[in-house]
Amino acid sequence: MREETIERIRGIQAEVRRLRQASDNPAIERTMQLLDLYCHMARWELGDVEAMIPEAETR
């Protein structure tokens, strides 16, 4: 269950980052950045530790 949840969050996070990168709308970019952050937090909470902040994760 935990592994599956982590995998699904990683997938969502990758899509969110693509949307953030593609956006030319400040409101959408900020919202996608926060979604990226919440995915990062959820992964830490499940012990999936890659970097301290999302911006420092391998992209």
**Sites of contact with another protein (CB under 8 A):** 2, 34, 37, 40-41, 44-47, 49-53, 56
**C-beta of 28: minimal distance to another protein in Å?**
17
- Residue 46's Cβ-side half-sphere holds a number of Cα atoms within 13 Å equal to 16
How many angstroms from the chain centroid is the CA of residue 57?
Answer: 9
Nearer to another protein, 12 or 38 (CB): 38
Nearer to another protein, 28 or 51 (CB): 51
Using an 8 Å Cβ cutoff, are 58 and 50 in contact?
yes
